[in-house]
Amino acid sequence: MKFDLILRVGTKMILPFILLFAIYVHFHGDYGPGGGFQAGVILAAGIILYAMVFGLDAARRIAPQGLVELLVPTGVAVFAAAGLPGMFKDFRYLDYGVYGHDFLHAHEWGILIVETGVIITVFSTMVAIFYAFADRGRG
Amino acid sequence: MIRLSEHLPIIQVLVPLFGAILTAFARRGTTAWAIAATASVLAPFVSAAMLWTVFETGRPISYVMGSWAAPWGIEYRVDLLNGFVLLLVSVIGVATISYARKSVAAEIDAHKQAWFYTMYLLCLTGLLGIAVTGDAFNAFVFLEVSSLATYVLIGLGRHRRALLAAYQYLIMGTIGATFYIIGVGLLYVVTGTLNFADLADRLGPAMDTQARPILAALAFMTVGICLKLALFPLHAWLPNAYAYAPSFATAFLAGTATKVAVYLLMRIFFSVFAIAIPASALPVTEVIVILSVAAMFIASFSAIFEENAKRMLAYSSVAQIGYITLGIGLANQLGLSASLIHVFNHALMKTALFFALGAIVYRTGLVNISQLSGIGRRMPLTIAAFVVAGLGIIGVPGTAGFISKWYLAMAAIDKGWWWMVFLIVASSLLAVVYVGKFIEVAYFREPGPDVAEAHEPPISMLLPLLALAFATVYFGIDTRLTTSVAEAAASALLGGAR
């Protein structure tokens, strides 16, 4: 698809909006439908679209394989570590009360951190799976 | 400052979980092993501290996740029963992680080793999580965490058939987990709660009006968990999974995975259902007794005619699980004690046996019994340890296996089933045949060309093997730890029923 002008220009036009929409879904997650999982999938879909139109090597330049593989455990680490600070201040594990003075605010922050962990892992896992499949048969 | 003693139940799960995350960052096998070893060594201290606290105070430890109070939030609850299981799993973890370094280095590709340790730690996280949680749905989540990690561990075996074995287990394991969650779902619809203790309180009143979904839930959960613990005839996935998995994974899983499933079955039967519904409502225990006896005999026969040593031990595991579930089926105080004691003893013995086979594979690459003639003269300590653990599997007096079978026989007599004692002894004689078959080949034949170069494994593999063989004898003579904890836990389980 390297020489298909419409696809190439179309992709370049639509890509920023895909990424922006992913961020919108991510930060909107605690008010309405959405959240880290959906946002991560949309974000990864952007990279996958880019790879399909401009080729795997071009995609690897903007999302290097090593970085992607590093992000998989990073997201889990963010999620799991979000529960830790409470344990040092007389809260239980996964109690986000430690992140603010009133209950609701603190928990909103806590959930946002958790969702950030989710978006990182979902995005990187999707892209890593795509890379693994796309690499098959390339020798 | 953090008060560790308050947070012990969650720390038990967090230590291997964070270990798994760190190993995923570490790209080198030795670094990953060091992290995995640290996490594995810390785990038994946590579980021992909890078991000690529960034993001393006589009260369970409760920990609510995120400060959400118990029936609504997830509660971690440690009593004697799961404290005992936690200690067992984490001790087996320590023994296997010492064994792992050389064994994994030899059997797993260098660039996969770090991920392999990640999977091991996630598996440990899942197994400890199932044991520590007091919430039916949380148990399902941990069941999936441990199972998914297990499929990868098995699939990384050197033989191509490892992939097929892992796939087989994936299908069966998923069916098992699905059945379990269908049962949990039915209970949630009827009672509106997922907490084990709360379920036990609410099921009784609900039984009058909604008996059918509750009985369906019991049936689904029993079948689902029995798939996971490989009760005959649901054991089909186990022999291949154990035979083709890497040596380290086989030894670890044989000592822990099925044992944790046994724990979950006990928890569901006695802490949840036995309190709420009369035993006559559904003949679950009778069915389990019949299947257990079938397992004891049929799986032992399969072991006798098996040529691959790892598969032989795998079938032996199915047979031994029969003894464990037989104790559950007898459903009296001695029977449950026997089950718990055998969970502990069998984990020690079977892990030792798979360690010995792993050592043979490490030195020779052979698993077929006929090729191992005279191996006892080349690797005397390894085979001696195999013999000790094998005697334990048979149930020879002076080994741990005798204690469990003694309790099991007493439980059968207590119930008035004299004939069951004969069945237990007769099936033990079958174990004499398959263990004896290996010993005959290993000691009484001239060393063949295949084993000419073989010698003792490295000390890091030999030491945990000898330690477990020693433990097999030790717990056959000094039974204070196993019997006192198991009897108290069994009384607590049945105490709820009254």
Complete DSSP assignment for A40-109: HHHHHHHHHHHHHHH-HHHHHHHS-HHHHHHHHHHHHHHHHHHTHHHHTTTPPTT-GGGGSSSHHHHHHH
When pLDDT is averaged across residues B317-333 and rounded to a whole number, the result is 91
Tell me if B497 is assigned to some domain: no
Say whether B66 and A80 touch across the interface (CB within 8 A): no
**How many domains are contained in chain B?**
2
- Cβ neighbours of residue B209 under 8 Å, at least 6 residues apart? none
User: Chain-wide mean pLDDT for chain B?
Assistant: 89
- DSSP letter at A21? H
The SS3 call for residue B453 is: coil
Tell me if B254 is assigned to some domain: yes
Say whether A73 and B24 touch across the interface (CB within 8 A): yes
Tell me if B270 is assigned to some domain: yes
Tell me if B406 is assigned to some domain: yes
pLDDT digits (tens, 9 = 90+) for B239-249: 999 999 999 99
Per the document, the length of chain B is 498
Task: Chain B: give the shortest CA distance to residue A115, in Å.
Answer: 16
B13 and B136 together in one domain:
yes
Q: Pick from B2, B10, B25: which is nearest to A88 by CB? A: B2
Q: Pick from B18, B64, B65: which is nearest to A80 by CB? A: B18
CA distance B197 to B190: 15
Task: Chain B: give the shortest CA distance to residue A135, in Å.
Answer: 17
A67 touching chain B per CB within 8 A: no
Say whether A95 and B66 touch across the interface (CB within 8 A): yes
Give the pLDDT confidence score for residue A49 in this predicted structure: 93
The domain boundary residue, chosen from B234, B265, B281: B281
B271 and B364 together in one domain:
no
Query: Which of B2, B3, B117, B148 best probes binding to A when mutated, by most A CB atoms within 10 angstroms?
Result: B2
B338 and B407 together in one domain:
yes
The answer on pLDDT for A21 being more than 90 is yes
Query: Which of A65, A92, A125 best probes binding to B when mutated, by most B CB atoms within 10 angstroms?
Result: A92
The domain boundary residue, chosen from B281, B297, B323: B281
Residues of A in contact with B66 (CB under 8 A): 83, 92-96
The SS3 call for residue B284 is: helix
When pLDDT is averaged across residues B260-287 and rounded to a whole number, the result is 84
When pLDDT is averaged across residues B331-344 and rounded to a whole number, the result is 91
Tell me if B496 is assigned to some domain: no
* CB atoms closer than 10 angstroms to residue B380: 14
B182 and B274 together in one domain:
yes
Tell me if B324 is assigned to some domain: yes
Give the pLDDT confidence score for residue B120 in this predicted structure: 93
The answer on pLDDT for A58 being more than 80 is yes
Task: Chain A: give the shortest CA distance to residue B48, in Å.
Answer: 21
B293 and B422 together in one domain:
yes
Give CA separation, B393 vs B133, B208, B427, B472, in Å.
Answer: 31, 45, 11, 10
Task: Chain A: give the shortest CA distance to residue B330, in Å.
Answer: 40
- Residue B414 domain boundaries: 283-490
Query: Which of B12, B62, B67 best probes binding to A when mutated, by most A CB atoms within 10 angstroms?
Result: B67
Give the pLDDT confidence score for residue A2 in this predicted structure: 58
The SS3 call for residue A30 is: coil
Say whether A93 and B24 touch across the interface (CB within 8 A): no
Amino acid at B63: Y
Tell me how many degrees the CA angle B246-B249-B253 measures, rounded to the nearest 5.
Answer: 140
Say whether A87 and B65 touch across the interface (CB within 8 A): no
The answer on pLDDT for B1 being more than 60 is no
pLDDT range class, residue B171, cuts 50, 70, 90: very high
CA distance B164 to B145: 20
pLDDT digits (tens, 9 = 90+) for B471-493: 999 998 888 888 888 888 888 88
Say whether A92 and B66 touch across the interface (CB within 8 A): yes
B147 and B224 together in one domain:
yes
- Name the residue in chain B with its Cα closest to that of A80: B18
B246 and B104 together in one domain:
yes
Give the rounded percent of residues in chain A with a pLDDT score beyond 70.
96
* CB atoms closer than 10 angstroms to residue B116: 25
- Name the residue in chain A with its Cα closest to that of B1: A88
Residues of B in contact with A71 (CB under 8 A): none
Give the pLDDT confidence score for residue B387 in this predicted structure: 92
CA distance B144 to B116: 17
Tell me if B495 is assigned to some domain: no
Residues of B in contact with A73 (CB under 8 A): 21, 24-25, 118
What tokens were used for B296?
A: 């004891």
Q: Pick from A80, A88, A92: which is nearest to B65 by CB? A: A92
The answer on pLDDT for B119 being more than 90 is yes
The answer on pLDDT for B200 being more than 90 is no
CB B200 within 8 A of CB B134: no
When pLDDT is averaged across residues B169-192 and rounded to a whole number, the result is 93
pLDDT range class, residue A38, cuts 50, 70, 90: very high
Lowest mean pLDDT among A97-106, B37-46, B335-344: A97-106
A91 touching chain B per CB within 8 A: yes
CA distance B145 to B151: 10
The answer on pLDDT for B343 being more than 90 is yes
Say whether A93 and B21 touch across the interface (CB within 8 A): no
A34 phi and psi, to 5 degrees?
130, -160
* Beta bridge partner(s), residue B64: B75
Query: Which of B5, B13, B21 best probes binding to A when mutated, by most A CB atoms within 10 angstroms?
Result: B21
Pairing type for strands B61-64 and B75-78 reads: antiparallel
The domain boundary residue, chosen from B261, B281, B301: B281
A75 touching chain B per CB within 8 A: no
When pLDDT is averaged across residues B227-246 and rounded to a whole number, the result is 90
When pLDDT is averaged across residues B227-242 and rounded to a whole number, the result is 90
The answer on pLDDT for B129 being more than 90 is yes
Rounded-to-10 torsion of CA B315, B344, B247, B371: -50
CA distance B409 to B79: 27
Give the rounded percent of residues in chain B with a pLDDT score beyond 90.
53
* CB atoms closer than 10 angstroms to residue B308: 15
B350 and B456 together in one domain:
yes
When pLDDT is averaged across residues A110-115 and rounded to a whole number, the result is 89
Residues of A in contact with B18 (CB under 8 A): 77, 80
A96 touching chain B per CB within 8 A: yes
**Best CA proximity match to B43, nearest among B103, B108, B9, B90:** B90
B233 and B292 together in one domain:
no
The answer on pLDDT for B340 being more than 50 is yes
Give the rounded percent of residues in chain B with a pLDDT score beyond 70.
99
CA distance B133 to B13: 10
Tell me if B498 is assigned to some domain: no
B19 and B77 together in one domain:
yes
CA distance B360 to B268: 40
Task: Chain B: give the shortest CA distance to residue A88, in Å.
Answer: 4
Amino acid at B269: F
- DSSP letter at B458? P
Query: Which of A87, A107, A114 best probes binding to B when mutated, by most B CB atoms within 10 angstroms?
Result: A87
When pLDDT is averaged across residues B378-394 and rounded to a whole number, the result is 91
When pLDDT is averaged across residues B218-226 and rounded to a whole number, the result is 93
Say whether A93 and B66 touch across the interface (CB within 8 A): yes
**Best CA proximity match to B186, nearest among B163, B147, B217:** B217
Give the pLDDT confidence score for residue B407 in this predicted structure: 92
CB B83 within 8 A of CB B50: yes
Task: Chain B: give the shortest CA distance to residue A80, in Å.
Answer: 8
Task: Chain A: give the shortest CA distance to residue B50, in Å.
Answer: 17
* CB atoms closer than 10 angstroms to residue B141: 16
The answer on pLDDT for A47 being more than 90 is yes
Residues of B in contact with A92 (CB under 8 A): 7, 10, 63-67
Give the pLDDT confidence score for residue B498 in this predicted structure: 38
Residues of A in contact with B67 (CB under 8 A): 91-92, 95, 97
- Name the residue in chain A with its Cα closest to that of B27: A70
Give the pLDDT confidence score for residue A138 in this predicted structure: 67
When pLDDT is averaged across residues B59-84 and rounded to a whole number, the result is 87
Q: Pick from A76, A77, A94: which is nearest to B66 by CB? A: A94
Give the pLDDT confidence score for residue B398 in this predicted structure: 87
B206 and B297 together in one domain:
no
Say whether A92 and B63 touch across the interface (CB within 8 A): yes
B22 and B155 together in one domain:
yes
Give the pLDDT confidence score for residue B446 in this predicted structure: 81
Give the pLDDT confidence score for residue A74 in this predicted structure: 93
